[in-house]
Amino acid sequence: MNAKKKNLIVGAGFAGGTIANLIADKLNEQVVIIDKKSHLAGNSHDFRDENGIMIHKYGSHIFHTNSEKVWNFIKKFGSFNQYMHKVYALIDGIETTIPFNFNTLYNVFPQKLANKIEEKLLQKFEYNSKVPILEFLKQDDKDLKFLANYIYEKVFLHYTAKQWNVNPKDIDSAVTARVPVYLSKDNRYFQDKYQGIPLEGYTKLVENMLNSPNIEIRLNTNFKDINEQFERIFYTGSIDEFFDYKFGILPYRSVNFKFETHTKDFYQQNSVINYPCNYDFTRIHEFKHYLNDKSDKTVIAKEYSENFELEKNERYYPVLNDQNINLYNKYFAEAKKLNNVYFLGRLGDYKYYDMDKAILRAIEMFEEVCL
């Protein structure tokens, strides 16, 4: 059976890889997938270094989803371990779990005070629920208000200031107040049904996704250098770049990782430790924890937040305020005028997608456009 149509997919991350696989497999159509990077998997790219450690080049990526559709799709391309992510933070010199839960409560407060606060929490809220700290501030109880203010100050305020490069005085407390406290002893960062790290890495997962005679992969290739005509284009790059920034550049926050190699089994007790109130970096990643790699060395990455600058660094987090959303909407209106050009992914949609949401978006677009 001959391939019927030719498709161009821009970006070989999870969104592009997913829709490429579906078109090649379900429709038996030819696909050209390009990426300006020198590797597959976009910002999920990983590789084994000279020490045998699987390094997440662009920071820790933990796969988690509640979607049966996404899980049934992704597990076809590789096996996952049962890693369940936990995050620690240094609060008042104590390494403890976040999001803030009952274990955190007893780690950072004297037992008598922790007992009193726990009792009041359980009188007003259900066990195993997530309660925004704003709810504590609404209560006419000095201990619950103390707890809310403590969490706001010690866990979120300064971390947010570093991550988004804003003065703590300019952070809207109403935004941060929506962050929940977990009335539980569950230390997992995510509670999704399916969680894990692919045993052969994310790059191998995407490589397997694209392993088809109908798919041609071109790395180190810029969209503007493509001269062929395609019947359909699926664009996962930045939507403002597609339109040559005619309305201006969409703002993002970026991340700079400082990698260090240490001759020891482990540098820290957990894969990720946040530093809300100390140092200029936001957190330290240690990659050996994810696949239990064996080596007499370990590799860490200190994460520093910075503004995105064209040609200098990577786009990570869209800065989603009214002004920037209005700017995106101008590009979205332009995109709707195009025939057979479709935008998706973090950069195409100007949204911060977890990996499973990027995959789901691609599956849904395939079903909408191609079936």
For 159-176, the DSSP string reads HHHHHHT--GGGS-HHHH
Domain ranges of the chain: 6-83+198-247+318-369, 87-182
Per-residue pLDDT of 303-354, as tens digits, reads 999 999 999 999 999 998 899 999 999 999 999 999 999 999 999 999 999 9
pTM for the structure as a whole: 0.95
Q: Which of 97, 13, 45 is nearest to 271 (CA)?
A: 97
Asked whether residue 4 carries a pLDDT value surpassing 50, the answer given is no
Q: Is 194 left (phi over 0), alpha (psi -120 to 50) or beta?
A: beta
The three-class DSSP label of residue 4 is coil
Band the pLDDT of 13: cuts 50, 70, 90.
very high
* Architecture in CATH of 6-83+198-247+318-369: 3-Layer(aba) Sandwich (3.40)
Range 264-272 contact pairs with CB under 8 angstroms and sequence separation of 24 or more: 264/297, 264/298, 265/296, 265/298, 266/298, 267/298, 267/300, 268/300, 269/88, 269/95, 270/86, 270/87, 270/88, 270/95, 271/60, 271/85, 271/86, 272/60, 272/85, 272/87, 272/88
pLDDT at 139: 86
Residue 371: its pLDDT value, please?
87
CA triple 275-84-110, angle to 5 deg: 50
Six-digit token pair at 163?
A: 């991550």
The residue-averaged pLDDT of 215-228 equals 96
Cα Rg of the chain, angstroms: 22
Q: What is the DSSP string of 66-83?
A: --HHHHHHHGGG--B---
Q: Tens digit of pLDDT for each residue in 156-203?
A: 989 999 999 988 777 766 666 667 899 999 999 999 999 999 999 999
Buried b / exposed e along 142-173 (16+ C-beta atoms within 10 A): eebeebbebbbebbbbbbbbbbeeeeeeebee
Does residue 34 carry a pLDDT above 90? yes
Mean pLDDT across the stretch 238-261?
98
Upper half-sphere CA count for residue 17 (Cβ side, 13 Å): 27
Q: How large is the average pLDDT for residues 15-19?
A: 98
pLDDT in tens, 130-162: 999 889 888 899 999 999 999 999 999 899 999
Reported confidence tier of residue 1, pLDDT bands at 50, 70, 90:
very low
